[in-house]
Amino acid sequence: MFRCDIEEDLGIRWIKVEGRIDSLNAPLLQREMHRLITSGERILVADLSRTSYLSSAGLRVLMEAFKQLKKVEGVIYFHRISAPVRSVFEMSNLTEIFILVEGMEEIQERLHGGKSPLSVVSSEMDGISVDALERDSVSPGEFFTFGSPDKLSSASYCESDVATVTSDEVRFATGLAALGEHYGEYKDLFGEAMTVQGNFFYYPAVNRPAVDYMLCSQGKGSFACKYLHGFGFNGDYRRILSFEHGERFVDLSKLAQLCVTISSADLLGIVLLAESKGFWGMHLKRSPISENRPANGKDIFAAENFTQWVNFPVEPGEIDHIIVACGIVARDGKKASARVQQVVGEGKNFHLHAGVFAREPLNRKIESFDQELSRIITELPIYKVQHALGRTLFSRGMAGIVELQG
């Protein structure tokens, strides 16, 4: 007989296994553990006190869960393991790697260790559960623009319009850009781009695009990005949020408004790390240079030209993928400066570009935001960089907020 029951005690998920964990039953246990980890659980307790047998097939499932959680700074505790399980752990030299515990008090001691937790304020806004970490004495960051969007609709950019921005000048940026040394080589590649922590990603506007990128360790050299237009910001996070909407999902528009509500600044730089439940993004199919100008003389967003120039979704995609996005949010787009209004567009108050990364469990500890962001952008495959639309849905995630001088 095999049973696998999921219970909760003091906010921690317990997996209570009774019977044999062998090649016949291990897939069932694997599915339950994978479901818990992908749903956001980062602390699991495997109660193996009534497990009568553990084969190498079952051990592999436990090791896989251990590795998945460790990657996102999570943990699995093995509670009161039975003699047969202990024998297999010892034979595989895992008693020094796995964390074996005898009771809830030991688990609590290991989790908190007598240390005071960070000062995190929890709240609920429109059904969204929010944890916020606020940093004192953080000066406002700098917002700046480069190039101009004026020639985009007419697709009339030329070499003299290119703005060169080096990776050591900007920490976060969004725009229409490319990589390369000579204009003749990269002129047909301009596409949606973003810079995150000094690392640059862009989606060339060609028939079969693939994300190109340059990763850069800060303080170890720099590289040049070629922008037709864009904006960026530097500065430290004033606040870091962790959010979740329970059984429902939160769209990007609502998330942008949430950031404005929590902050007191009129202009925010936003860095988002979240799990997609339906990504809506758009990108150019052609580089908007003068050689590619529409023959009919109309702009690229005209009805006659739109489908040839713009990839616009008719349904959401990339469900359960990790999304990294950066951009700005204005408290009131109509009252923002001319520079900000030019960036966000008429009647809008935010502009973000997003990278679609592989499916992977996400560490949502806000104190580890920078480390997790760095792990995602340097280790995981990236499939797209697109202009993120407001209807994009998220289940949970984190956001770093840089308060900016507009």
Residue extents of the structural domains in the chain: 2-112, 141-405
Asked if residue 394 lies in contact with residue 275, where contact means CB atoms within 8 angstroms, the answer is yes
Closest to 46 (Cα-Cα) out of 3, 70, 83, 15:
15
Taking the C-alpha atoms of residue 322 and residue 361, their distance in angstroms, rounded to an integer, is 9
Query: Which residues fall within 8 angstroms of residue 314, CB to CB, at 6 or more apart?
Result: none
Domain boundaries 2-112, corresponding CATH code: 3.30.750.24
**Quick one: pLDDT at residue 10?**
65
Asked if residue 321 lies in contact with residue 392, where contact means CB atoms within 8 angstroms, the answer is no
Taking the C-alpha atoms of residue 329 and residue 351, their distance in angstroms, rounded to an integer, is 7
Asked if residue 289 lies in contact with residue 157, where contact means CB atoms within 8 angstroms, the answer is yes
Residue 327 is inside which H or E element, if any?
strand 322-330
Strand order across the beta sheet in which 2-9 lies:
2-9, 12-21, 43-54, 75-79, 99-101
Residue 307 is inside which H or E element, if any?
helix 306-309
Q: Is the pTM for the entire model greater than 0.75? A: yes
Q: What is the tally of helices (H) and strands (E) in the chain?
A: 9, 23
Report the amino acid identity of residue 283.
H
Query: Which residues fall within 8 angstroms of residue 137, CB to CB, at 6 or more apart?
Result: none
- Residue 177, CA distances (Å) to 82, 152, 162, 309 in order: 59, 12, 9, 16
DSSP 211-241: -EEE---TTS---EEEEEEEEEEE---SEEE
**Helix, coil or strand: residue 101:** strand
Taking the C-alpha atoms of residue 89 and residue 180, their distance in angstroms, rounded to an integer, is 53
Whether 2-112 and 141-405 share one fold: the answer is no
**Quick one: pLDDT at residue 20?**
93
Taking the C-alpha atoms of residue 187 and residue 295, their distance in angstroms, rounded to an integer, is 19
Taking the C-alpha atoms of residue 235 and residue 215, their distance in angstroms, rounded to an integer, is 20
Taking the C-alpha atoms of residue 195 and residue 175, their distance in angstroms, rounded to an integer, is 9
Domain boundaries 141-405, corresponding CATH code: 3.30.1330.80
Low-confidence ranges of the chain (pLDDT < 50): 114-117
Asked if residue 245 lies in contact with residue 128, where contact means CB atoms within 8 angstroms, the answer is yes
**Quick one: pLDDT at residue 219?**
52
**Quick one: pLDDT at residue 331?**
93
- Residue 337, CA distances (Å) to 233, 239, 256, 261, 341 in order: 15, 23, 18, 20, 6
Instruction: Give me the half-sphere count of Cα atoms (radius 13 Å) on the Cβ side of residue 15.
Output: 26
**Quick one: pLDDT at residue 115?**
47
Taking the C-alpha atoms of residue 207 and residue 283, their distance in angstroms, rounded to an integer, is 12
Query: Which residues fall within 8 angstroms of residue 130, CB to CB, at 6 or more apart?
Result: 122, 123, 124, 241, 242, 243, 258, 262
Would you tell me the crossing angle of helices 26-38 and 56-71 to the nearest 10 degrees?
A: 10
Residue 249 is inside which H or E element, if any?
none
Q: Look at phi and psi of residue 201 and say left if phi exceeds 0, alpha if psi is from -120 to 50, else beta.
A: beta
Within 10 A of 6 (CB to CB), how many other CB atoms are there?
14
Taking the C-alpha atoms of residue 60 and residue 116, their distance in angstroms, rounded to an integer, is 36
**Quick one: pLDDT at residue 204?**
96
**Quick one: pLDDT at residue 111?**
75
Asked if residue 265 lies in contact with residue 404, where contact means CB atoms within 8 angstroms, the answer is yes
Closest to 12 (Cα-Cα) out of 86, 69, 60, 84:
69
DSSP letter, residue 292? G
